[in-house]
Chains A and B, each alone.
Chain A
Amino acid sequence: MSDAVVTIRGATKVFDVGADQTRALDGIDLDVGKGAFVSLIGPSGCGKSTLLRLIGDLTQPTAGQVQVNGKSAHQARIDRDYGIVFQSPVLFDWRTVEENVELPLEVGGVDKRKRAQRAQAMLALVELTGFEKRYPWQLSGGMQQRVAIARALSFEPAILLMDEPFGALDEMTRERLNLELLGIWRQTGTTIVFVTHSIPEAVFLSTKVVVMSARPGRIVDVIDVDLPQPRSDLTREDPRYFSFITRVRESLRGRVEGASLRAGS
């Protein structure tokens, strides 16, 4: 893919646990195109979070290469190409909502007036206008996660890395935030890599679903989800939406059953 934002070739990650070695990722090849919404899905321990962290240079591969925007992941981090959203919002209690959103800009040396403007725009994007002066602990879990998204987008990163960002939220909030996230994705054109273990969430959001298996972590299937854009609540009633869900589920299950058959023999 010529317009790939992320290119991964033969990435392997081995963790030393005492005398044992755990192969968290094994020979991963993956391309993420510009403006794509790619989900990584798989059972616990399949290395999907590790893969996301490799892209973000929060951990380094034991072997193989990770390139982002044509440079090393490390250089991309130094160039501030990433916005990261974790499962917990990781907001700072001592900063107001506005100050939390401004944090990456502050670190980047953006002047005060511009920071305030940017924070205003981002909070409007996540529909939190009017909450600027509140503290994080005065907000609900869903609102806190929206602040985290506003913060990750505030410095216009080339790529947004999200590690189960809605995993701790209730189903209703999660579905609403899924829709909001798609709106933000359309407006900003940001490339998104999204880790989840919810099949419907992966299908609903993504242009591409990457199915992974555990021990060792490998990519077993890459499914292009060509459901029409923009997606809406109607998408969730589209028969093709369900067939994609079935397809992802079978990919996951096929792998799991294959593994247990081998283990039993």
Chain B
Amino acid sequence: MSSRLRQYAPAVAVFIGVLVLWELAVRVLSIQQFLLPRPTAIAAAFAEHFEELVVVGRNTLVEAVGGLAIGAAAAFAVAFATARWATASRALLPFAIAANSVPIIAFAPIMNNWFGILNPLSKMMVVAVLVFFPIMINTLRGLTLVDQSSLELMRSYAASEREIFTKVRIPNALPYIFTALKVSATLSLIGAIVAEYFGGSQSVLGQFIITEAAFFRFANAWAAIIVASAVSIAFFGTILAVERVTIPWHASARHGDAT
């Protein structure tokens, strides 16, 4: 425990140091509150609006998680089909790659139109399209970048394509999938909040920030940004925890050295 404390001590010291400097700088240089609120002012805003922040944070998290689930499901389907059938690869991959170069956030108003501006699904779809490509391409990489000898070994057991898939390709892809999911966790929150800027329910982080900023209540906006960061970190941490449990054999999760 003490070694753990020592490990995190420098980061904690830097964090506290920055907060103190920030507070002092704003006070000494008399920076206007609407340019940069003091950390203590943000903390007060956070405490004052705590209940509302929890609600908007939760609503945005639901959009992010829902969008990630939809995007991941589609990505897995395409990646599996592509890895399994060469024809599917030729038919689907060009579209997936083309879709990746589209600035996806530009779709937000159209999603609002398709799924209803007040329906959280419109935000989820923006997130889904945003996370689709990184998950799909990483899953595909994991399914296809299999050691040639592993495949020959399975062939020597007269294993079917299906068995090669379930016993070799999928386990091989799991670390790639978790890497993509971790990246997408952060991405999904960005997507959800930016999509919220394009209108919809008021009870979400994006609209809360827009409204408070419009009324020059910047301390409140900053408090919402802190909530957004916390939600993002929690989402990432959850996926990390699932990864540790699911693939304890992978190098990133190994405990102890090889003998």
* Partner-B contacts on A (CB < 8 A): 56, 58, 77-80, 82-84, 86, 88, 90, 92-94, 103-104, 106-108, 135, 137-140, 155
Contacts and interface: CB of A to CB of B under 8 A. Distances in A.
Interface of B is mostly: helix
Interface string B227-259: 000000000000000000001011100101011
A115 to B, nearest CB: 13
B156 interface: yes
Contact of A56 (B156, B159, B174, B256): B156
Interface string B147-169: 10110111111110001000110
Contacts of B157: 80, 103-104, 107-108, 155
Interface of B: 147, 149-150, 152-159, 163, 167-168, 171, 174, 247, 249-251, 254, 256, 258-259
A86 B247 contact: no
Interface of A is mostly: loop
Contact of B153 (A90, A93, A106, A155): A90
Contacts, number: 60
A246 to B, nearest CB: 35
Contact of A82 (B154, B156, B251, B254): B156
Contacts of B152: 58, 84, 86
A105 to B, nearest CB: 9
Contact of B156 (A77, A94, A106): A77
B153 to A, nearest CB: 6
Contacts of A135: 249
B158 A78 contact: yes
Pick the most buried of B157, B171, B174, B250: most chain A CB atoms within 10 A of its CB: B157
B163 A107 contact: yes
A78 B158 CA distance: 5
A137 B255 CA distance: 11
B68 to A, nearest CB: 24
A107 B153 contact: no
Nearest to A143: B259
Given A107-B163, A137-B258, A139-B258, A90 B150 contact: yes
